[in-house]
Amino acid sequence: MGGALPQLLGFCFLAFLRLAGFVAVDAVGAPPPAGGSEGTAVVDGTTPIAVTDDDFICATLDWWPPEKCDYGTCSWGLASLLNLWVGGRYHLAAAMLSLVKGSDVCHDLSNKVLLNAVKEFSPLKLRLGGSLQDKVIYGVDTQQPCTPFVKNTSEMFGFTQGCLPMQRWDELNDFFKKAGAVIIFGLNALNGRVRLRDGSLGGPWNSSNAESFIRYTVNKGYTIHGWELGNELSGSGVGAKIGADQYAEDAISLKKIIDNIYQDFTDKPLVLAPGGFFDASWFSEFIEKTKPDSLDVITHHIYNLGAGVDEHLVDRILDPSYLDREVSTFRNLQGILQSAGTSTTAWVGEAGGAYNSGHHLVTDSFVFSFWFLDQLGMSSTYNTKSYCRQSLVGGNYGLLNRTTFQPNPDYYSALLWHRLMGSKVLSAKFTGTESIRAYAHCARESQGITLLLINLSGNTTSQAFVTTASNYTIGLKHHIPRTRFNHITRLRKTATFMREEYHLTAKDGNLHSQVMLLNGNILSLDSEGNIPTFEPMELDASLPITVTPFSIVFVHIPHFDAPACR
């Protein structure tokens, strides 16, 4: 009887797995294969643990002029909201600068590559803002000169006040309409402030210029998804800071302006703030004083890897314990929102990983997809509704090359996420090694789930089995050995259930490569500037997923038993 009982349990378990829509499963208590490891992705598809926006992926466009330099490198060129070329017209100062320096050609917002890159997301959220947004005035008053930013080291952020001409705003909106982009505009929150004894800025926000700009935008028929107040002025601030009490009053004022101007609109734009770094006490007070419904979205920024010049960026990107440090930000912010009983939701409003424009061949290369996709997975787990990557183009962390608009690896990572990961977030964990990061969502516009596996190890290939949380618990309870599970897998090989896999690796195994491979094939634009199609590999769903060293795998499993996804 002692030998028959495990066998009986094994066959009973097999029957249960078939009924549950089992995919492939790991066992407990057996050594890993030579030269590799085995592990289990345990996915609980019973109910969602969080829900994101359908257009979760977001990217930023910034204000930095070509003279913006960090550590002796000027990485912005003509990537600003003010100097991306539009339809044959561009600012003379920017054009002359490009001719003198010989470093950049003028960018064209009607460029097919740029247009296609944005349109592929259908839609892509674009957050317009950055450090200089609190020094931007809007040229709605034709009696005042509308001059560009001028470099001045004595000024905050090294530049004078700049102006957005309305002709330029018209050109940008023409591009946004063609690209089908969803726009969030960051407003100048420093107008009217006075400096207080503690160094912060006080006094109410002077909203007159912003209000005129919003009215102009509405009168022109431009669609804005949200208006965000200020950039990095919360907590200790960056360059300047405003107390939470005053900031809350200003956000309420913006809400009133929006409600008034858009009073005849069925759908009003969102009110977002503060676009700063998470500070628990500041954010708590701000949320408390804007509840229940004066603030739609609270936005925070993430640059958790250190300065762009730091020599240890790659070490941190590949360190699971370092990546896990950011969990506290997402968890604590959600705790504050839940405790406050507010309708406000959370976004990551700007995230470039490494501050001061990133680091060439790190934040614009293959290795950065480990950080970026882990951030998308982690943030969505904690009910973050949207995640805005710094930047679409510009600096050393652009999704697109700033001179050619050719996609960098993270563009393809973002687009794969957008196409495969639905809005319902599922609980997922990986057992067997800490080097594998696992995230799961209901599949986007398809049946089943999509599983994301990120292998931070450069030495180990993992054979990943996938199972439901309930099946895994039963397997543990009955101590079914791995050999028994392998026998079950062999019996399942005649099944017709298939899955789709998308394996991302670096060209020639070089983590600093700016060329990404999908299932061994180079991802690149065709001669017409079109984004390549993503062709998956189809495999028997009963087989383990092979996750090679330093690789990323999206796996669509249509027959996974997930009631949350029905």
Q: Which of 330, 328, 425, 449 is nearest to 49 (CA)?
A: 425
Distance CA 394, CA 392 (A): 7
Return the C-alpha torsion angle 281, 286, 288, 290, nearest 10: -170
What pLDDT sits at residue 560? Answer: 95
Query: How many helical (H) and strand (E) elements, i.e. helices and strands, does the chain have?
Result: 14, 26
Work out the average pLDDT over 45-61. 98
Mind listing the pLDDT tens digit for each residue in 499-556? 999 999 999 999 999 999 999 999 999 999 999 999 999 999 999 999 999 999 999 9
Yes or no: say if 503 and 518 are a contact pair by the CB < 8 Å rule: yes
Q: How many CB atoms are closer than 10 A to CB 272?
A: 30
Yes or no: say if 225 and 186 are a contact pair by the CB < 8 Å rule: no
Mind listing the pLDDT tens digit for each residue in 347-377? 999 999 999 999 999 999 999 999 999 999 9
In the block, residue with structure tokens 């618990």: 473
Annotated catalytic, 350? yes
Distance CA 433, CA 526 (A): 39
Q: What is the DSSP letter of 508?
A: G
Catalytic residue among 211, 232, 326, 500: 232
Task: List CB contacts of 311: < 8 A, sequence separation 6 or more.
Answer: none
Distance CA 44, CA 564 (A): 9
Q: Which of 168, 5, 207 is nearest to 90 (CA)?
A: 168
Catalytic residue among 120, 350, 500, 501: 350
Cis previous bond, 123, omega within 30: yes
What pLDDT sits at residue 108? Answer: 60
Yes or no: say if 306 and 326 are a contact pair by the CB < 8 Å rule: no
Residue 331 has pLDDT above 90, yes or no: yes
Q: How many CB atoms are closer than 10 A to CB 285?
A: 17
Which own/partner contact pairs does 29-36 have at CB distance under 8 Å and 24+ positions apart?
29/479, 29/481, 29/482, 30/481, 30/482, 30/483, 32/432, 33/463, 35/461, 36/460, 36/461, 36/462, 36/463
Distance CA 399, CA 396 (A): 9
Residue 67 has pLDDT above 70, yes or no: yes
Mind listing the pLDDT tens digit for each residue in 384-442? 999 999 999 999 999 999 999 999 999 999 999 999 999 999 999 999 999 999 999 99
Annotated catalytic, 528? no
Mind listing the pLDDT tens digit for each residue in 385-401? 999 999 999 999 999 99
Task: Say what the pTM is.
Answer: 0.91
